[in-house]
Amino acid sequence: MTMTSGTTAATANEATVTTAAARRYQILVYHHTHWDREWWSPLQIFRIKLVQLIDELLETLDRGPSFRSFMLDGQTIVLEDYLEIRPENRERLLGYIGAGRVECGPWYILPDEFLVSGEAHIRNLWDGALSSPCARPRRASDTSSLGAS
């Protein structure tokens, strides 16, 4: 650090701290869920949590446009699981999907790359496309089962 005449180490340090504090960062938060249909609990236990999650999501979306989007973990079966319990919310949920505020797909269920064949992956994507009300599935937020090696 170069100090000019009359600058002490303390004031130079304060200037460095002030400069660092003045930096601006943009933080992006991507709202999504990692949804296990069954894992350590049975389907119906997880479904109760799914219904609570989507009910709260719909209420949040209803409150205003500042909450712009939510990704349902890249699988479309969560829509079926939810709407079997809450069919009265079908149009509301589909409205948010159509507006791009709720995203879903491209998979029907989340695949495990090493447990199924290539044909099964293609059929899973096909079923996801056929069952999805999303016009353009954009991404899968959870690809943990797709190998990175």
What does the pLDDT look like over 113-139, one tens digit per residue?
777 888 888 888 888 888 777 755 555
Calpha distance 88→129 (Å, rounded): 24
CATH number at residue 59: 1.10.1240.90
Whether 73 maps to a domain, the answer reads yes
DSSP state of 140: -
User: Is 16 inside any structural domain?
Assistant: no
35 lies in a domain?
no
In a domain, 14, yes or no: no
Write the CB contacts of 3 (distance below 8 Å, at least 6 apart in sequence). Answer: 9, 12
Q: How many domains does the chain have?
A: 1
Asked whether the whole model's pTM tops 0.85, one would answer no
Helix axes 90-98, 77-85, angle to 10 degrees: 150
Cis peptide before 106 (omega within 30 of 0): yes
pLDDT in tens, 31-54: 888 888 878 889 899 999 999 999
E strands in the chain: 70-71, 102-103
In this prediction, residue 74 carries a pLDDT of 80
* Residue 47 domain flag: yes
**Could you tell me if residue 145 is inside a domain?**
no
* Boundaries of domain holding 55: 43-131
User: Considering the domain boundaries, does residue 52 fall inside one?
Assistant: yes
